[in-house]
């Protein structure tokens, strides 16, 4: 069974990736705690590449990374790369977005997830970007999920991410779209 290092220190992210990658039979492991990667990219894809590349080189193993966030049209793409740092916690981040959109009519937004898989030498083997279009609600709806899920409404499903069960979100989310786009290539890849 090939081992792939997930370029994160977050056990929740590892668990989430495992859901998508289970069919591949890979053993996923968190990156070692002493490896820190500065996310200096200007796009989600650049940051995913940086994380995958640096962790692969440091561990001399295959590495997969993602970078994701919320982009709101009326806020010129904010919070974007700073989605996780747009406030102290989920509640604070949601309230900030709702305040900034208080009198805004166009509430269109999208969640973006960039994925990159790096070989042990740091070269990028595969990459993709998944997008889930939606709108920002005027108040939170639903209790599932995390982050901006209660205010991100997906018109095609007529519910917020926080109103979806885990299987619905896995299928329709930006991360689900990204993995669906790349899964055939991953299945045909031989990890050496």
Q: Which residues are catalytic?
A: 67
Is 106 within 8 Å of 135 (Cβ atoms)? no
Token pair in block for residue 10: 């977050």
CA distances from 113 to 41, 71, 78, 141, 166 (A): 14, 11, 15, 22, 17
Distance CA 178, CA 59 (A): 25
Other Cβ atoms less than 10 A from the Cβ of 157: the count is 16
Is 80 within 8 Å of 68 (Cβ atoms)? no
Strand pairing report for 108-118 and 124-136: antiparallel
């Amino acid at each position: 069974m090939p081992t792939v290092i997930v370029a994160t220190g977050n056990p929740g992210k590892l668990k989430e990736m495992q859901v998508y990658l289970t069919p591949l039979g890979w053993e996923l492991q968190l990156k070692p705690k002493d490896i820190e990667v500065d996310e200096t990219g200007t796009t989600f894809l650049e940051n995913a590449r940086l994380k995958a590349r640096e962790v692969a080189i440091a561990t001399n193993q295959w590495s997969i990374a993602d970078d994701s966030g919320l982009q709101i049209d009326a806020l010129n793409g904010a919070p974007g790369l700073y989605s996780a740092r747009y406030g102290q916690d989920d509640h604070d981040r949601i309230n900030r977005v709702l305040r900034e959109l208080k009198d805004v009519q166009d509430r269109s937004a999208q969640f973006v997830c960039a994925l990159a898989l790096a070989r042990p030498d740091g070269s990028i083997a595969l990459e993709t970007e998944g997008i889930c279009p939606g709108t920002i609600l005027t108040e939170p709806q639903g209790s599932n999920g995390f982050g901006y899920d209660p205010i991100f409404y997906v018109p095609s499903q007529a519910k917020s991410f926080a109103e979806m069960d885990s299987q619905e979100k896995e299928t329709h989310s930006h991360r689900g779209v990204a993995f669906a786009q790349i899964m055939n290539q991953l299945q045909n890849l031989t990890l050496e």
